[in-house]
Amino acid sequence: MNFDDTPQEAEFRSQARAWIAANAPTQYEEELRKSSLGRTQLKNADILEVAKAWQKKKADAGWACLHWPKEYGGRGSSPIERVIWQQEEGPFGKLSHMFIIGHGMCGPTMMAFAREEHKRKYLPPLASGEKVWCQLFSEPAGGSDVAGLRTRAEKDGDEWVINGQKIWTSGAHYSDYGILLTRTDPTVPKHKGLTMFFLDMKSPGVEVRPIKQASGASDFNEVYFTNVRIPDHQRLGEVNDGWNVSLTTLMNERMSIGAGVATGFPELFDYCSGLMLEDGPAIENAAVRSKLANWAVKASGLKYTSMRAISALSKGERPGPENSIGKLVAGSMIQDVAAYALDLQGAGVISGSEDAEVAGRFQAMLLRAPGTRVEGGTDEIMRNIIAERVLGLPGDIRVDKDVPFNKIPTKGR
């Protein structure tokens, strides 16, 4: 058990450090350092442009998507090298946020299921941030129950014709491509009639409508498909095997461990260390200390859990369902942490006027946090995954399991 770099790792670290020092957009470092969940913006620059420029620079020098093969725009790095990079990249890593879905889910799915010529054509510009990708899975009728989706794909010669609606699609408004899960056979049970594609988001018939979120921001969208045509060679996996393809996508989502999920704890500890309450410094208050300690051990527990996972990965093990705990724990923690940070200051911070910099940060965190508990699988779905796939408990009773999809009731009450 050790934390030391091997000589090769140390060499990699010093190369990464030197390159970052010479190339990172350091003028934004302070601002990025202070940004937290819900608030990654730059005052005097368009964050999208800054992010794309940084990603391109990394790609040109061979530092983008480290674990991808070189021919697809990566570096062929080990899991540990990826972690070292993340440690060294520090706050600049926050700029990659807009690429997470493309890099974490779409790319690996393409790698596993696309034709070789497509991989060589589409993956390098995805790695370099020149092209942004989104994931078109969720629908009004199919969120947790993804396989309940209704967007249809019908074969017409060498093409497929798509009609239907997706929802909650992050980044669709600035995406160039997307991976799309559709229904190709409604007469068989729901998991057996799905097919996956990738498509150009500028295709005729694709309409993206931003949704205003609870936080007031608009990071996700509704996407409508009206007679959108996708050539058959952009199909990923076999016809009606889309469920298996999407499982690969979701498993790769879990692989995006290591970046360390945001818990809000470092921000809270920092905040409490400087805060004065009526009866003295917050950090000397027994109730505050107890709260902090409880969150501290959750945050460190998550950190070392992901280190254990990375150690396992580097020994060739596959990322398993046990990695679901990161989002489950961090999601509600960040919500509670943000509420507590505000609670400590009482009525004054409803407006955020007194100490706008700090209060605003926790307000933004609080308003973004509910999304964290829902996106990528809700808390309840994460618990099901742990219970069923880690602990081996029985699956939920599924009344629709053997029913043809078009015979499943669609409304409650």
* 310 near other proteins (CB under 8 A): yes
Per DSSP, the three-state class of 221 is strand
DSSP 313-371: HHTTPPP-GGGGHHHHHHHHHHHHHHHHHHHTTGGGGGT--TTHHHHHHHHHHHHHHHH
* 174 near other proteins (CB under 8 A): no
CB of 180 closer than 8 Å to CB of 200: no
* 176 near ligand FAD (CB under 6 A): no
Segment interacting with other proteins, rule: CB under 8 A, options 10-18, 48-56, 216-224, 376-384: 376-384
Write the CB contacts of 110 (distance below 8 Å, at least 6 apart in sequence). 118, 119, 122, 123, 126, 179, 198, 236
CB of 218 to ligand FAD, least distance (A): 11
90: left (phi over 0), alpha (psi -120 to 50) or beta: left
Segment interacting with ligand FAD, rule: CB under 6 A, options 18-26, 237-245, 311-319, 368-376: 368-376
Of residues 280 and 412, the one with the C-beta less far from ligand FAD: 412
Per-residue binding letters, 288-307, with other proteins (x by CB under 8 A): -xx-xxx-xxx-xxxxxx-x
* 83 near other proteins (CB under 8 A): yes
* 254 near other proteins (CB under 8 A): no
Per DSSP, the three-state class of 259 is coil
How is residue 238 annotated by DSSP? Answer: S
Q: Which of 22, 276, 347, 391: binder of other proteins (CB under 8 A)?
A: 391
Q: Which of 168, 197, 243, 362: binder of ligand FAD (CB under 6 A)?
A: 168
Nearest to 261 by CA among 193, 332, 317: 332
The Cα–Cα gap between 68 and 403 comes to 40
* 401 near other proteins (CB under 8 A): no
CB of 379 to ligand FAD, least distance (A): 6
* 269 near other proteins (CB under 8 A): yes
Q: Sort 123 into a burial class: Cβ within 10 Å, 0-12 / 13-18 / 19+.
A: buried
DSSP 117-179: HHHHHHHHHHHTTSS-EEEE--BTTBSSSGGG---EEEEETTEEEEEEEEEEEETGGG-SEEE
Q: What are phi and psi of 301, to 5 degrees?
A: -60, -40
Segment interacting with ligand FAD, rule: CB under 6 A, options 168-176, 266-274, 330-338, 401-409: 168-176
- What part of residues 71-110 is at the interface with ligand FAD (CB under 6 A)? 101
* 122 near ligand FAD (CB under 6 A): no
Q: Which of 50, 374, 386, 403: binder of other proteins (CB under 8 A)?
A: 386
* 378 near ligand FAD (CB under 6 A): yes
Beta bridge partners of 160: 155, 230
CB of 170 to ligand FAD, least distance (A): 3
Query: Which of other proteins, ligand FAD, none has residue 170 at its interface (CB below 5 to 8 Å by kind)?
Result: ligand FAD
CB of 64 to other proteins, least distance (A): 23
The Cα–Cα gap between 394 and 380 comes to 15
* 206 near other proteins (CB under 8 A): no
Angle at which helices 265-274 and 325-343 cross, to 10° = 20
* 170 near ligand FAD (CB under 6 A): yes
- What part of residues 127-146 is at the interface with ligand FAD (CB under 6 A)? 134-138, 143-144
Query: Which of other proteins, ligand FAD, none has residue 387 at its interface (CB below 5 to 8 Å by kind)?
Result: other proteins
Segment interacting with other proteins, rule: CB under 8 A, options 23-31, 146-154, 340-348, 390-398: 390-398
* 247 near other proteins (CB under 8 A): no
Q: What is the dihedral of CA 363, 367, 369, 370, to 10 degrees?
A: 150
Q: Sort 23 into a burial class: Cβ within 10 Å, 0-12 / 13-18 / 19+.
A: middle
* 328 near other proteins (CB under 8 A): yes
Other CB atoms within a 10 A radius of the CB of residue 2 amount to 5
Amino acid at 334: I
* 169 near ligand FAD (CB under 6 A): yes
Residues that bind other proteins (CB under 8 A): 1-5, 9, 80, 83, 269, 273, 283, 286, 289-290, 292-294, 296-298, 300-305, 307-308, 310-312, 314-315, 322, 325, 328-329, 380, 382-384, 386-388, 390-397
Residues that bind ligand FAD (CB under 6 A): 101, 134-138, 143-144, 168-170, 220, 371, 374-378, 380-381, 384, 396
